[in-house]
Amino acid sequence: MKRSSRQSLIDNFTTTASKVRFETVVKKPDGHFQCRSYCIKGRLGDRPIDLSVEARFYRDLVPTLGVRVPHCRYVGIDEGS
């Protein structure tokens, strides 16, 4: 079976929040390969850190500003915590 994608971890580190950067190479429907880079950032663990202000900035404010920022594919906020 041929693999049509490949992932590689670039780095991961923790400051105020945990961040994991990685690349994935995917095979597109036209047969060409494309490399995509991603960064996942969040509170990954039990440390009490409130990242909701930053999350709301990307989710609610950025689309109205017309400023250049990294594309945010998903913002999740657990309103209960």
In a domain, 56, yes or no: yes
Quick: pLDDT tens for 3-24. Answer: 556 667 666 666 667 788 888 9
In a domain, 72, yes or no: no
Find out whether 27 and 5 touch, Cβ atoms under 8 Å: yes
Predicted confidence (pLDDT) at residue 60 exceeds the cutoff of 50:
yes
In a domain, 76, yes or no: no
Torsion of CA 67, 69, 71, 75, to 10 degrees: -90
* pLDDT for residue 1: 44
* pLDDT for residue 64: 92
Number of domains in the chain: 1
In a domain, 35, yes or no: yes
Confidence category of residue 33, pLDDT binned at 50, 70, 90: very high
In a domain, 70, yes or no: no
Residue 11: domain span? 5-65
Q: Please compute the mean of the pLDDT values over residues 31-46 and round it to a whole number.
A: 81
